[in-house]
Amino acid sequence: MSINNIQLTPFLLQELYSNSLVEILSQESELSTLSPASFSFLGNNRKKIIILVANDETLYLPDDQLNFLMGILSACSLTMEHVAIINIKKNKNVTYKTIEQELKAVQIILLGVTPAQISLPVEFPKYQVQPFNNQTYLSATGLFDIQDNKAEKGKLWNCLKQLFSI
């Protein structure tokens, strides 16, 4: 019998990997105790940064816009681990209150979404960092319009530097 043909029994595999099996099960039980949000989002929301988009065609964003957004996040030293992307066209019950209650949002970036669309009781111009309700908001045009427009990219970048203290 060669070393490449060794077959282990299920009992022996369990004994060899008992610590890692226990850790996986404990992580699953911790995840099951978390209450799920009443809407779907992309990302893990570790830093409580919410990015709201409006797109009819896809669940979140088309690939090119998602890649562009990933580049923006990377420039801000963020990843999908830190944020939650919510498409308000696919989640009709998203309001500033539900975002606050369910996701404990600290910073909310509106990309192609107006404050009125999330029932925010204040209006503010695009590309202005706006504090409200112990949260910070930033409204900008949609990613499709920003992607190929150098002036819009510059405006967004200046606001992101202020928002994230870059």
pLDDT digits (tens, 9 = 90+) for 130-162: 999 899 999 999 988 899 899 999 999 999 999
- Residue 85 belongs to domain with CATH number: 3.40.50.10220
In degrees, rounded to 5, the angle at the alpha carbon of residue 65 between the alpha carbons of residues 62 and 68 is 150
Judge if 83 and 14 occupy the same domain.
no
**10: domain range?**
3-33
Residue 165 has pLDDT above 50, yes or no: yes
Confidence of residue 92 (pLDDT cuts 50, 70, 90): confident
Per the CB < 8 A criterion, the answer to whether 54 and 88 are in contact is yes
Judge if 14 and 55 occupy the same domain.
no
32-36, 51-55, 86-90, 124-128: least confident range: 32-36
Nearest to 114 by CA among 136, 138, 97: 138
Q: Is beta strand 135-140 parallel, antiparallel or unpaired with respect to 107-111?
A: parallel
Domain count of the fold of the chain: 2
Q: pTM of the full predicted structure? A: 0.75
Judge if 28 and 58 occupy the same domain.
no
Nearest to 89 by CA among 116, 62, 60: 60
Q: CA-to-CA distance for 68 and 5, rounded, in angstroms? A: 47
Judge if 111 and 147 occupy the same domain.
yes
Q: CA-to-CA distance for 46 and 108, rounded, in angstroms? A: 14
Query: Is 39 part of any domain?
Result: no
Judge if 93 and 146 occupy the same domain.
yes
Q: How many CB atoms lie within 10 A of CB 42?
A: 17
Residue 21 has pLDDT above 60, yes or no: no
Query: Is 44 part of any domain?
Result: no
Judge if 9 and 70 occupy the same domain.
no
